[in-house]
Structure 1
Amino acid sequence: MNAFHLTDIYIYPIKSLGGIRLEEAMLEEKGLQYDRRWMLVDQEGTFITQRKHHQLSLLQVRIEEDHLSVGHKEDEELKISFKLAENTGESIEVTVWDDTSVGSEVSKTVSHWFSDYLQFDVKLVRMSDEEKIYVDPRYAANGEIKSFSDGYPCLIIGQSSLDGLNEKLDEPVQMNRFRPNFVFSGGEAHVEDRFKNFRLGNVLFSAVKPCARCVLITIDQETGIKGLEPLRTLATYRTQNKKIMFGQNLLHVGAGLIKVGDEMNIQDWKSIG
Structure 2
Amino acid sequence: MKVHSLHLYPVKSLAGIQVSHFEMDDFGPKNDRRWMIIDEDRNFVTQRSLPQLARVKTDLSESLVSISIPGEGDFTLQHTNQELRVLVWRDWVLAYSGEAAASLALSRFCGKELRFVYMPNSSFRRVDAERVSEYRRVGFADGFPFLITNTASLEELNGRLEEPVEMRRFRPNIVVEGAAAWHEDRWQKLKVGGQSFAIVKPCSRCVLTTVNPDTGSKDPGLQPLRALSGFRRTPEGVIFGQNAIHEFPGIIHVGDSVTVIESE
- Match of 1:158, as an amino acid? N
- Match of 2:114, as an amino acid? V
Cα distance per residue 1:57-93 (max 9 Å; x no partner): 1111011355322114xx4x5322225xx31252110
- Match of 1:181, as an amino acid? N
- Match of 1:269, as an amino acid? S
1:101 corresponding residue in structure 2: 93
Select 2:256's aligned residue among 255, 258, 262. Answer: 262
Cα distance per residue 1:183-229 (max 9 Å; x no partner): 01012111111111111233210111100000000111111121210
1:130 corresponding residue in structure 2: 122
CA RMSD of aligned residues (A): 1.4
Task: Give the secondary structure class of the aligned counterpart of 1:235.
Answer: helix
Separation (CA, whole Å) in 1 of partners of 2:175 and 2:151: 6
The alpha carbon displacement at 1:111 in A equals 1.5
The alpha carbon displacement at 1:252 in A equals 1.5
Separation (CA, whole Å) in 2 of partners of 1:162 and 1:256: 28
- Match of 1:235, as an amino acid? S
Given that residues 201 and 256 in structure 1 are in contact (C-alpha distance below 8 angstroms), is that contact kept between their aligned partners in structure 2? no
2:23 corresponding residue in structure 1: 26
Report the identity percentage: 34
Given that residues 91 and 102 in structure 1 are in contact (C-alpha distance below 8 angstroms), is that contact kept between their aligned partners in structure 2? yes
Asked if 1:198 corresponds to 2:190, the answer is yes
Q: 244-253 vs 58-67, which deviates more? A: 58-67
2:75 corresponding residue in structure 1: 81
Task: Give the secondary structure class of the aligned counterpart of 1:134.
Answer: coil
Cα distance per residue 1:29-51 (max 9 Å; x no partner): 21101100100101221001100
Task: Give the secondary structure class of the aligned counterpart of 1:246.
Answer: strand
Task: Give the secondary structure class of the aligned counterpart of 2:52.
Answer: helix
1:143 corresponding residue in structure 2: 135
Separation (CA, whole Å) in 1 of partners of 2:81 and 2:125: 21
1:247 corresponding residue in structure 2: 241
Q: 112-121 vs 23-32, which deviates more? A: 112-121
Task: Give the secondary structure class of the aligned counterpart of 1:192.
Answer: helix
Task: Give the secondary structure class of the aligned counterpart of 2:94.
Answer: strand
Task: Give the secondary structure class of the aligned counterpart of 2:251.
Answer: strand
Asked if 1:8 corresponds to 2:2, the answer is no
Asked if 1:215 corresponds to 2:200, the answer is no
Q: Which runs of 5+ in 2 are unaligned?
A: none
Task: Give the secondary structure class of the aligned counterpart of 1:233.
Answer: helix
Structure 1 pair 219/40, CA: closer, same or farther in 2 (3 Å)? same
- Match of 2:258, as an amino acid? M
Given that residues 89 and 108 in structure 1 are in contact (C-alpha distance below 8 angstroms), is that contact kept between their aligned partners in structure 2? no
Structure 1 pair 15/66, CA: closer, same or farther in 2 (3 Å)? closer
Given that residues 204 and 236 in structure 2 are in contact (C-alpha distance below 8 angstroms), is that contact kept between their aligned partners in structure 1? no
Asked if 1:161 corresponds to 2:153, the answer is yes
Task: Give the secondary structure class of the aligned counterpart of 2:79.
Answer: coil
Structure 1 pair 115/241, CA: closer, same or farther in 2 (3 Å)? same
The alpha carbon displacement at 1:126 in A equals 0.7
Structure 1 pair 139/242, CA: closer, same or farther in 2 (3 Å)? closer
TM superposition score normalised by structure 2: 0.95
Return structure 1 stretches of 4+ with deviation > 6 angstroms.
none
1:51-62 alignment runs, 5 A limit: 51-62=48-59
Select 1:186's aligned residue among 178, 181, 187. Answer: 178
Task: Give the secondary structure class of the aligned counterpart of 1:146.
Answer: coil
Separation (CA, whole Å) in 2 of partners of 1:32 and 1:242: 25
